[in-house]
C-alpha cells in the first residue's frame, strides 16, 4: 500500500517549488476524499453500523487535514510559512491560505456527499419496507448511478466561537506540558467556591456585589449555600480531594460575577486555571511555566514580569504582566506614546502564586511534604488582545457578522 501523504519540508521557496508542493498536497486530499466517499460495503453489516463506521472514517479524514492542533493545514503553516525567509513570506502566506481554503472545501464537499449518500440509502431502505438488508444493498447499488458532479446542498457548518478557540488554544499549551484537563459544576457551594480556598469571611469577593447567589438558601448552613461559581478554582479543590500528588491540571470553564455588562465587563466570562502540586515545586517552576505559556500564546518575543499581589489561596501571590504586544514594551509607537495601557509598555494579564499551605489542610495533603503553584487567566481578556476586539459584549451577542470573521 502506498504511504499516506506527509507535508514535506521545502528546500527553497521559489514559485516552481511551491507549485509542485501545492499540486502534490491537493492531489493527496482529493484521493483521500475519494476513498472516504467510496467506502466499503461489507455484506451482512447492518446499515446503521455501516454508516456509523463511514462517518467515523470521514471524521478521521477531516481531523487529519484540518484539525487545528496538528492537521495538515496547520503543519503547512508551520513547515512552509513559518520556515520561509522574510522576503518570501508574503507569497508563501498567500499560497498557504489558498491551500487551506481548497482543503476545507474538499472536506466540506465530502461531508455533503456522504450526507446525500446516506439519505439516498435511507430512502431506499424505507421504500423497501426497511426489512431486508439484501433489498437495502440492492437498492443502494441502484443509487450508485447518480451523477456525482451535480452541486451539493450547502449547509453552513459554522465556526469555532472565538472564546472557545482561545480557550482551546490556552488548554493546548498546557496539554503540551503534560497537564490534564478537569471540569466541575457551574453551580457551586459556598464551601468549594470560598471556604476551602481560604477566603476569609469578610473578603470582598463574598459580597453580593460580586457573587450571584441562588435564592432560597437561607435555611442552609453558610457552607452549603449554592451560588454561581465566581472562578474555576473549586475544580482545583475537587481535583485535590480525589487525587493524590503529583497533580498537573488545567480547569477551563464558564464563571459568573454580578457585574453590569459594558465594554470591559460581563456577568458571564471564561477562565482557565491551572494547578501543579508535587514535591519541591518552587516559584521558579511557576515563573518558567507561565513565561513559556505567554510566549506560546503571544509570540516568542513577549517578555513577562511578576508583580507582588494578594490572592486568598496563594502565598506569595503575583500579577503577571506581559510586554505590550502593540509597542513591543517600549511605551511609544511611531514617536508617540502607545495608546494601550497608559503607555506603560506592560499589560496585566493573570494572577498566580504558590498554593497557600492552609489550602492543603482542606484536602488532606501534608504541607510539610508537598508544594505547588496555581494560576488563573480570563479567556475573553486574552481573546480581546489576540484578535484586537474592543468590546467584550461582542462575544456574547451571537452576531454572525462578528463571529464569521473567526471561521
Ligand atoms: Zn504599548
- What pLDDT digit, counting tens, does each position of 293-351 carry? 999 999 999 999 999 998 888 999 999 999 998 888 888 888 888 877 777 889 999 99
List, for residues 213-269, the tens digit of each pLDDT value: 899 988 998 889 999 999 999 999 999 999 999 999 999 999 999 988 888 889 999
Lookup: cell for 351? 494572577
The chain-wide mean pLDDT, for the chain, equals 87
3-state SS, residue 161: coil
pLDDT band at 133 (very low <50, low <70, confident <90, very high): very low
The Å distance, Cα 339 to ligand 1 centre, comes to: 7
Is the torsion defined by CA of 88, 90, 91, 95 positive or negative?
positive
Compute the distance from residue 323 Cα to the ligand 1 centre, in Å: 8
Q: 222: CA distance to ligand 1 center in Å?
A: 45
306 CA distance to ligand 1 middle (Å): 18
Q: Where are the alpha helices (DSSP H) in 43-161?
A: 47-66, 72-76, 89-127, 133-143
Quote the CA–CA distance of 380 and 392 in Å, as a whole number. Answer: 7
Report the C-alpha gap between 203 and 294 in whole angstroms: 30
Q: How far is the CA of 345 from the centre of ligand 1 (A)?
A: 5
Cell 513570506 locates to 89
**Residue pLDDT, tens place only, 378-406:** 999 999 988 889 899 999 998 888 888 88
pLDDT, residue 398, reads 87
pTM: 0.62
Report the length, in residues, of the chain.
407
Tell me the CA–centroid distance for residue 182 and ligand 1, in Å.
35
d(CA 249, CA 221): 31
Contact status, residue 49 vs residue 136, Cβ threshold 8 Å: no
Radius of gyration for the alpha carbons in the chain, expressed in angstroms and rounded: 26
Rounded to the nearest 5°, which phi and psi values hold at 253? Answer: 165, 175
Q: Backbone phi, then psi, for 158, in 5-degree steps?
A: 75, 175
Beta bridge partners of 351: 319, 376
Q: What is the mean pLDDT of residues 197-210?
A: 74
Ligand 1 centroid vs 338 CA: distance in angstroms?
A: 5
> Pairing relation of β-strands 332-333 and 247-256?
unpaired
Amino acid at each position: 500500500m502506498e504511504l499516506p501523504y506527509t507535508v514535506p519540508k521545502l528546500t527553497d521557496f521559489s514559485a516552481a517549488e511551491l507549485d509542485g508542493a501545492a499540486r502534490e498536497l491537493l492531489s493527496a486530499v482529493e484521493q483521500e476524499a475519494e476513498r472516504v466517499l467510496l467506502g466499503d460495503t461489507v455484506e451482512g453489516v447492518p446499515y446503521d453500523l455501516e454508516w456509523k463506521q463511514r462517518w467515523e472514517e470521514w471524521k478521521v479524514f477531516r481531523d487529519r487535514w484540518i484539525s487545528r492542533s496538528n492537521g495538515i493545514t496547520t503543519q503547512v503553516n508551520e513547515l512552509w510559512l513559518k520556515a520561509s525567509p522574510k522576503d518570501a513570506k508574503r507569497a508563501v502566506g498567500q499560497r498557504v491560505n489558498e491551500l487551506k481554503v481548497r482543503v476545507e472545501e474538499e472536506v466540506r464537499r465530502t461531508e455533503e456527499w456522504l450526507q446525500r449518500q446516506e439519505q439516498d440509502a435511507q430512502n431506499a431502505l424505507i421504500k423497501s419496507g426497511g426489512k431486508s438488508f439484501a433489498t437495502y444493498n440492492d437498492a443502494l447499488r441502484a443509487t450508485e448511478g447518480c451523477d456525482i458532479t451535480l452541486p451539493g446542498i450547502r449547509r453552513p457548518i459554522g465556526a469555532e466561537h472565538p472564546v472557545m478557540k482561545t480557550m482551546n488554544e490556552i488548554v493546548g499549551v498546557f496539554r503540551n506540558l503534560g497537564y490534564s484537563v478537569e471540569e466541575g459544576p457551574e453551580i457551586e457551594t459556598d464551601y468549594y467556591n470560598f471556604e476551602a480556598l481560604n477566603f476569609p469571611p469578610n473578603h470582598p469577593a463574598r459580597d453580593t456585589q460580586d457573587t450571584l447567589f441562588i435564592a432560597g438558601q437561607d435555611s442552609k448552613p453558610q457552607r452549603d449555600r449554592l451560588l454561581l461559581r465566581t472562578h474555576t478554582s473549586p475544580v482545583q479543590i475537587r481535583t485535590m480531594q480525589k487525587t493524590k500528588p503529583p497533580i498537573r491540571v488545567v480547569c477551563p470553564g464558564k464563571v459568573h460575577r454580578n457585574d453590569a455588562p459594558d465594554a470591559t465587563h460581563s456577568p458571564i466570562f471564561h477562565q482557565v486555571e491551572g494547578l501543579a502540586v508535587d514535591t519541591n515545586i518552587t516559584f521558579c517552576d511557576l515563573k518558567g511555566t507561565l513565561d513559556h505559556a505567554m510566549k506560546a500564546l503571544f509570540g516568542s518575543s513577549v517578555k513577562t514580569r511578576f508583580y507582588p499581589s494578594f490572592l486568598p489561596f496563594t502565598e506569595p501571590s503575583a500579577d503577571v504582566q506581559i510586554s505590550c504586544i502593540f509597542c513591543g514594551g517600549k511605551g511609544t509607537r511611531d514617536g508617540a506614546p502607545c495608546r494601550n495601557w497608559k503607555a506603560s509598555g506592560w499589560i496585566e494579564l493573570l494572577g498566580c502564586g504558590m498554593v497557600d499551605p492552609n489550602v492543603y489542610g482542606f484536602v488532606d495533603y501534608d504541607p510539610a511534604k508537598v508544594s505547588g503553584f496555581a494560576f488563573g487567566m480570563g479567556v475573553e481578556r486574552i481573546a480581546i488582545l489576540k484578535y484586537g476586539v474592543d468590546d467584550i459584549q461582542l462575544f456574547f451577542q451571537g452576531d454572525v457578522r462578528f463571529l464569521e470573521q473567526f471561521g
